[in-house]
Each structure stands twice: as C-alpha cells, then as structure tokens.
Amino acid sequence: MAKDKRPKLAVWKFASCDGCQLSLLDCEDELLEIAGAINIAYFPEASRNYQKGPYDISLVEGSITTPHDAARIQKVRRQSKYLITIGACATAGGIQSLRNFADVRDFMRIVYPSPEMIETLAKSTPIADHIFVDYELRGCPISKYQLLEVISAYLNDRKPNIPHYSVCMECKRKGNTCVMVANGIPCLGPVTQAGCGALCPAYNRGCFGCFGPKESPNTVSLADRFLQLGTHTEDIIRLFRTYNAYAEPFRKESEARER
C-alpha cells in the first residue's frame, strides 16, 4: 500500500469545554478539503482511529490544571513539529483560571465532599507557561475561519494572517452603532483582539473580551472611562475576569482595581 504523504495532524484536549475542538468539526464544508490535504491522525473527539506520532501539526485545547497534565503536555511537545494552542483556556488559562485569584483549597472544600481525593494544581495556566508554543490562536471559542487560516498557513510554510488589532476596528467596518458612545454600555472592544466580527455590539451588547487582549491594550484608560460611565469598580473587575482573566493585561488591570 502506498505511504500516506499528507502531513499528520493531532488534536489534544486538556482542561476545557471542547468548544474549540467543535470549531474544527464545525468546518463542515471545508472538512473534506482539510481531510484531503492533511491526515487527521489523532482526534479522539472525532474518531477512535488513532495513529501513532510523531505529528506535523498538533492543535492543543485547554489549560494545565493537574500534575498529570503538566507531564502530559511535555510528551505532546516531543511528538509535535508545530504546536498550536487554540482558545482562551490554552492561551490564557481559561475561565478556570479564576481559581488563581483565590485559594484553590477553599473551592475544593466547598465543591467536593471528599476534597482529599482531588489532585490539582494551585493555578490554571496556559500551555505556553509549560512548553514552547509555535502559535497561539485566541477566542472562546476560536473562529473556524481563523483556524482554517492557521492550518493553511502551516501547510504552505507561511505566517498566519491573523489580525492583532481591536474588536472596535471590526465593529466600525461593520457599521455598528457604538454601544459605549451611544448607550453608555461598558465594552471591552477597544482592548480586545479582533476575530469574532464584533458579534456582541451587533446585538447591542458590550464585548466581554473572549478573544483576549489586543496588541498593546490601554486597559487603564478604558477602565477609567467605565468609571466615568458610572460602572462600579466590582463590575469593572468582573468584566476583566471572564474567559481571559489570567491574560496579563486583563489580570493586571483587575488586580490594580481590586487594590
């Protein structure tokens, strides 16, 4: 039988909700084309037909929250030529990183009847805190179009064309009315990376930052503007502490407002 020369792709899951992996499955129209260009060699969410590594591209979803996963990600790195992290959990620690602002043992005592059986790390951390990562794709969940762009870029040996500017740019391009200027609704669009097509403002809602911080975000000025709009400090802290709570600019701003 002729040897399959297509690049091998593996998809790995760590602490996460599986939403980003579903984005790959959601590429219904494009999936056949993807499967033609690459060999989906390891993707437990889609198939039990596992092929052994090494792999040309690994997509990693989820954050590191247990000692077992901290060891497992090292093995994944050793088997992967290019390793791309996908989503807020893998790139910033995810919503589960809210534990990082408190003592995880308190949560264990409240949630579990036998907390001594839980083996966990004190913090939820992004994959890049543990290993070298070739590319980080943001979003909660990621955009399937951006995922296709990143896969296609690696297949063609070029840099992925992913914008690092703000959601406001997409919002203006779409012709949305600014919810903050027109209605005084706090919106994280000015400090959040584009990628969603300004989904929330299109429905008259403020952005809550699910694509994480944009390049050089001015969180201080934005948080001051929220105060001028009458937003309480507790609500400003909450705004910065959602899916990307532990991404450095958002974390620093929420911690500064807490003091």
List residues binding ligand SF4 (CB under 6 A): 167-168, 171-172, 176, 178-180, 187, 189-190, 192, 196, 198-201, 207-211
Cβ distance to ligand SF4 smaller for residue 43 or 208: 208
Q: How far is the CB of 44 from ligand SF4 (least distance, A)?
A: 27
CA-to-CA distance for 97 and 67, rounded, in angstroms?
16
Cβ distance to ligand SF4 smaller for residue 53 or 184: 184
Maximum separation of any 2 CA atoms in the chain, in Å: 69
Cβ distance to ligand SF4 smaller for residue 78 or 173: 173
Q: How far is the CB of 162 from ligand SF4 (least distance, A)?
A: 14
CA-to-CA distance for 49 and 155, rounded, in angstroms?
23
Q: How far is the CB of 63 from ligand SF4 (least distance, A)?
A: 18
Residue type, 56: D
Closest CA to 122 of 110, 104, 109: 104
Cβ distance to ligand SF4 smaller for residue 41 or 200: 200
Residue 63 backbone dihedrals phi, psi, to 5 degrees: -105, 170
Q: Are 251 and 131 in contact (CB under 8 A)?
A: no
Cβ distance to ligand SF4 smaller for residue 73 or 210: 210
Q: How far is the CB of 180 from ligand SF4 (least distance, A)?
A: 4
Q: How far is the CB of 169 from ligand SF4 (least distance, A)?
A: 8
Cβ distance to ligand SF4 smaller for residue 120 or 189: 189
Q: Which residue is nearest to ligand SF4 (CB)?
A: 189
Q: How far is the CB of 165 from ligand SF4 (least distance, A)?
A: 11
